[in-house]
Amino acid sequence: MATVIFSSELQKLTGEEQTSVKARIYKDIIAELITRYSSLEEENLMKMAIAIDGEIVHNPLLEVIDETSELHFLYRISGG
């Protein structure tokens, strides 16, 4: 089961520091999280970037996540 670690901002909405997810595909993980935490909405997560074991990506909906992976949602950097 992959581990999702919440930033201090997201902890305000989930009330937890981290959780395990059963789903393996990223889009299903999103669905699992918003079902589990009523204050968490899809758009909160979709507008963030995700770090999968430290590798930062935007919305890899079809990505198969390894069950040993750690996921971190983070603010999307755009740069200048």
Partner 1 sequence: MSEAREFKYIGQSTIRPDGYDKVTGRAAYGADLTLPGMIWGRILRSPHAHANILSIDTTKAEAHPDVLAVATYADFVELQSKSVAASEGAADVLDLARNCLADDKALYHGHAIAAIAARTERAAKDALSLIEVKYELLPPVMDVEDAMKDDAPVLHADMFTAGYEERPSKASNIAVRTEMKMGDIDAGFAEADVIIEREFRTPTAHQGYIEPHACTVRYDEDGQSMIWCSTQGHFDVRTSTAKVLGMDLGKLKVIASEIGGGFGGKTVVYLEPVALVLSKKSGRPVKMVMERDEVFIATGPTSAAKLRAKIGAKKDGTITACQGWMAYEAGAFKGSPMMPGVMTMFTPYECANVTVEGFDVVVNKSKSAAYRAPGAPQAEYAAEMVVNELAEALGMDPIDLRLKNAAKAGTQTIYGPKLKTVGLVECLEAAKNSPHYQSAIAEGNGRGIAAGFWFNIGGQSSVTVNMNPDGTGTIVEGSPDIGGSRASMQMMAAEVLGIAPSNLNPIIADTETLPYSASTGGSRTTFATGMAVIEASESVVAQVKQRAAAVWNVTAEQVDYADGVASNTAGDDKLTLAEVCKSAEQTGGQISGMANINARGAGPSFAVHICDVFVDQDTGKVDVIRYTAIQDAGKAIHPAYVEGQLQGGAVQGIGWALNEEYIFDENGVMENQGFLDYRIPLASDLPMIETIVVEVPNAFHPYGVRGVGETGIIPPLATVGWAVGKAIDRKVEELPCSPPRVLALIQNG
Considering the rule CB under 8 A, would residue 61 count as an interface residue with partner 1?
Answer: no
Pick the closer one to partner 1 by CB: 38 or 80. Answer: 80
22 binds partner 1 (CB under 8 A): no
**9 lines the binding site for partner 1 (CB under 8 A):** yes
Query: What letters, b where the CB count within 10 A reaches 16 and e where it falls short, cover 43-64?
Result: ebbeebebbbeeeeeebeeebe
Point out which residues bind partner 1 (CB under 8 A).
5, 7-9, 12, 43, 51, 53-58, 60, 70, 72-75, 77-80
